[in-house]
A = this chain, B = another copy of it.
Amino acid sequence: MAGNSFGKLFTLTTYGESHGPALGGVIDGCPSGIELDLDAIQQELDRRKPGQSSIVTQRKEPDVVQFHSGIFEGKTTGTSIGFVIENTNQKSHDYTHIKDSYRPSHADYVYDQKYGFRDYRGGGRSSARETACRVVAGAVAKQMLKGMEFYAYVSGVGALKLDKTYNELDLTQIESNIVRCPDAAMAATMETYIKEVRGKGDTVGGVVTCVIKNVPVGLGEPVFDKLHAELGKAMLSINAVKGFEYGSGFEGCTMLGSEHNDAFNTDGTTKTNNSGGVQGGISNGMDIYFNVAFKPVATLIQEYETIDKEGKVVVMHGKGRHDPCVVPRAVPIVEAMAALVLADFFLRNKMYN
């Protein structure tokens, strides 16, 4: 109820602060007998980890996941899967500058107001470091959902927007560059721009597009737990996300019904896919696709004025090793959350059969 669990049947509960001894989580509801490729899970985590390329934060965290339970002889046992990621980068930082002050557009102020005090080290629980646990669980979910394919990629950085739809892109090329944009030319432009922004101590936002293929018909629960509603919640729960749209999205609302409706082929597939693979909240077997908007990272390597706990104006200077643009590292997180949503609905749909 305090918001640290996600999913109803395939459930992830997480814990951990940015600079505490460890992060971890419990995956509950994973069926038994699934052969887990632990290396593949670690690889997903590596896609998210700091220091992986020249355009992300240069912090060093190995982010190695250890599993404590729920796996026996290489297979899931049907019992809860506990895992831990130790924080190895816990050197005694100097937090004096943020201990008593509130960074703009961070959670410092609201945490203090809500809880009376806060673990200010590195943002505590509000740090996006927490998403490492999501990636672990999402990687388990992906392995449960054999056959479904999850492709997230960067489609926008600041004003730079990929003007091709996912169908016009080679989705196998996502990992071919450090931006994780499958269009090589745009990726290069984005990389240059991110570096330019970083050079000014500034940050920039972006968009991640996600495509899910081979989703069976029937996933999603009317009326409140529509498939796209849970996908939306999942994405909006990721740090820095400001918007979500699926299928035709915001653009679709400018269209006429006669343009927007997806006519059927005789096999139940549709000629167009403005629906984004979801009709009435239930998957219709077509590709699911959606966009996720990320705001610019709030931590600037610049000097600025803000207030302290007493409401006095103070001058702060952002320091440390931060991402100038969050979307390249957000790609595996978006995929992970999508996989968690699909895993949950996959199990929920078993009730009906």
Query: Residues on A close to B: CB < 8 A?
Result: 1-6, 8-9, 11, 13-17, 20-26, 28-33, 66, 68-70, 72-73, 75, 77-82, 84, 102, 104-107, 109-111, 113-119, 124-126, 130, 156, 158-159, 197, 202-207, 217-218, 220-226, 228-230, 232-237, 239, 242-250, 252-268, 270, 274-276, 279-284, 291, 293-300, 302, 304-307, 311-313, 347-353
Closest B residue, CB atoms, query A11: B1
- Establish whether residues A72 and B253, one from each chain, have CB atoms under 8 Å apart when the complex forms: no
- Establish whether residues B8 and A15, one from each chain, have CB atoms under 8 Å apart when the complex forms: no
Please indicate the chain B residues that have their CB under 8 angstroms from the CB of A266 in the complex.
307, 311-313
Please indicate the chain B residues that have their CB under 8 angstroms from the CB of A13 in the complex.
5, 13, 26, 28, 80
- Establish whether residues B105 and A2, one from each chain, have CB atoms under 8 Å apart when the complex forms: no
Give complex CA distance A20, B352 in Å. Answer: 22
- Establish whether residues B6 and A224, one from each chain, have CB atoms under 8 Å apart when the complex forms: yes
Cross-chain contact of A279 among B3, B106, B119 (Cβ < 8 A):
B106
Give complex CA distance A284, B297 in Å. Answer: 18
- Establish whether residues B253 and A293, one from each chain, have CB atoms under 8 Å apart when the complex forms: yes
- Establish whether residues A125 and B77, one from each chain, have CB atoms under 8 Å apart when the complex forms: yes
CB distance from A97 to the nearest CB of B (A): 15
Closest B residue, CB atoms, query A306: B264
Cross-chain contact of A1 among B244, B274, B351 (Cβ < 8 A):
B351
Give complex CA distance A32, B124 in Å. Answer: 14
- Establish whether residues B79 and A222, one from each chain, have CB atoms under 8 Å apart when the complex forms: yes
Cross-chain contact of A69 among B17, B66, B259 (Cβ < 8 A):
B17
CB distance from A128 to the nearest CB of B (A): 10
Please indicate the chain B residues that have their CB under 8 angstroms from the CB of A245 in the complex.
242-245, 250, 293
- Establish whether residues B237 and A4, one from each chain, have CB atoms under 8 Å apart when the complex forms: no
Other contacts beyond A16-B68, A205-B252, A230-B233: 14, CB < 8 A: A2-B351, A15-B69, A15-B70, A77-B115, A79-B124, A104-B264, A158-B254, A202-B257, A205-B253, A242-B245, A245-B245, A255-B295, A257-B300, A350-B350
- Establish whether residues A260 and B82, one from each chain, have CB atoms under 8 Å apart when the complex forms: no
Please indicate the chain B residues that have their CB under 8 angstroms from the CB of A264 in the complex.
102, 104, 109, 306-307
Give complex CA distance A106, B9 in Å. Answer: 27
CB distance from A290 to the nearest CB of B (A): 9
- Establish whether residues A68 and B24, one from each chain, have CB atoms under 8 Å apart when the complex forms: yes
- Given A16-B82, A222-B107, CB of A256 within 8 Å of CB of B348: no
CB distance from A334 to the nearest CB of B (A): 13
Give complex CA distance A205, B57 in Å. Answer: 41
Cross-chain contact of A79 among B125, B250, B291 (Cβ < 8 A):
B125
- Given A237-B225, A246-B242, A261-B298, CB of A4 within 8 Å of CB of B24: no
- Establish whether residues B2 and A221, one from each chain, have CB atoms under 8 Å apart when the complex forms: yes
Give complex CA distance A9, B295 in Å. Answer: 30
